[in-house]
Chain A
């Protein structure tokens, strides 16, 4: 299969590869997919508790080039966004940006799911620590 230049670029120069400390209360971790299906995406976000803005994002992905590119791309996209803004990222935007063919749309769906899962994990942690989840309900709007 021929890959788009965007996919090749992310595959060859993946952005923000790595891991954040998952025990840090400001870090949310999302892991979606399954090894048996051939795709596992792990996305981590670090949220500024004051501003509610995603300051850092890291990923690791087991999957085809399109899955790697989709996760690499979303680490770029979520940075600097509030949680609500990040939740607005749609798989169709990812697929369009990377020119994914129809058989690879599921990679963009997984990337969207990974964002949601990471944000949910972050909110759960905040709730467990009895602190309002930054950016969840109007507080911590972008400055």
Chain B
């Protein structure tokens, strides 16, 4: 077993060797600009880009013309939200999104708010899911866009996008979903799910970094967006800039592999995730699962280990790469806003760890990680004054803590 063990696949993934093999020729021999119409170098590059467009479209139930290449999901989110807001500003000025969205969506929304748009940030239930009735009630005659992520990057909770898409369609509102964490992991279908715009990213699905795409629906309805960058008018005028051919080839191949292997891979990862969860939960008390386990990516586990601060736990499992929901490194000491939105108290939010399993994890690694987490939690609880108080029967919520 190679160490350190990587179990942070929501942050990024390694490039699959098969993806790299597909990309390599386009760095040197086949280096053409896909926009060069006058020679074979350009044609070769365009052919590769067209193939990738088909591979991506097939994975998400789209047509190749509906795929707009970007630098990644952050750009896709910005292009979708700001692009729709600007294009449809005459029709309305109201946008609905959710408190647990990725910062790319939240900060793009805040920027629009400063420009005079009205924003509704829907709360979530303790499961992490939105309440569909609240969504229905939030829609007004001025609403132009609903942006709800598919899978959450911290807790892996899957929003009911098909129902959301149906509601949006019925009310004549465009629906954007940030599907960065879910594309290639669980089925997403732009047609069946009534999605009008969808963000996705290469490096979350074993493709390279620096490449992503925005799906923009062409029919029923035909969605238009205002370009956020001016230039040569590439990508049907929606995103200028010479195409990143190697990245695009990689993204296409990554999608093709996911399409082939998703069904088997998601079963394997769900089994590994449950193995990790069960091993930890049977050996430790007061461990809490954050967010719905039922509506969740098969590869995600987000746990709070009561009485043990997250960053100290990461230190205790130093040959395991996972991430902490506690942002103790920031000057504000703010814990995860996603966990807060779920109603997880600050004291438990500070004790959370996100495990993100992926393609190259093994059962042996899962056991190693579980055992090290258990050992570290036990050691740190011995060190914890809160665990000591709790064992004495003191209700920590009733203790008057001096503010610091």
**A and B: interacting chains:** yes
Q: Which of A17, A36, A64, A67 lies in contact with B401, CB distance below 8 A?
A: A36
Chain A residue numbers with a CB within 8 Å of B335 are: 38
* Known contacts A37-B346, A37-B404, A109-B404; 20 further A-B pairs (Cβ under 8 A): A11-B316, A14-B383, A17-B382, A32-B402, A32-B404, A35-B346, A35-B401, A36-B346, A40-B385, A40-B386, A42-B385, A61-B385, A62-B384, A62-B385, A64-B311, A64-B312, A68-B312, A103-B329, A103-B330, A106-B404
Contact between chains at A61 and B315 (CB < 8 Å): no
For B, the interface residue count at a CB cutoff of 8 angstroms equals: 30
B119 contacts across to A, CB distance below 8 A: none
B347 touches A36 (CB 8 A): yes
Does any Cβ of A come within 8 Å of B77's Cβ?
no
Docked-complex contact B385 and A39, CB < 8 angstroms = no
Q: What is the predominant secondary structure among interface residues of chain A facing chain B?
A: mixed
Q: Tell me which residues across on chain A come within 8 A of B386, comparing CB atoms.
A: 35, 40, 62
Question: Nearest residue in A to B331 (C-beta to C-beta)?
Answer: A103
* Contact of B346 with A11 in the complex, beta carbons under 8 Å: no
What residues of chain B lie closer than 8 Å to A64, measured between beta carbons? 309, 311-312, 315, 328
A-contacting residues of B (Cβ < 8 Å)?
307-309, 311-312, 315-316, 326, 328-331, 333, 335, 345-347, 350, 382-388, 396, 401-404
Q: Is the CB of A17 within 8 A of B309?
A: no
A31–B401 Cα distance when bound, in Å, is 9
Report Cα–Cα, A40/B306, bound state, in Å: 13
B330 near A35 (CB under 8 angstroms)? no
Q: Most chain-B CB neighbours within 10 Å: which of A34, A42, A64? A: A64
Min Cβ gap B20→A in Å is 30
State the CA gap A106–B329 with chains docked (Å). 11
23 contacts between A and B (CB under 8 A): A3-B315, A14-B383, A19-B388, A34-B404, A38-B333, A40-B384, A61-B383, A62-B307, A62-B383, A62-B385, A62-B386, A62-B387, A63-B328, A64-B309, A64-B311, A64-B312, A64-B328, A65-B311, A65-B312, A103-B329, A103-B330, A103-B331, A106-B333
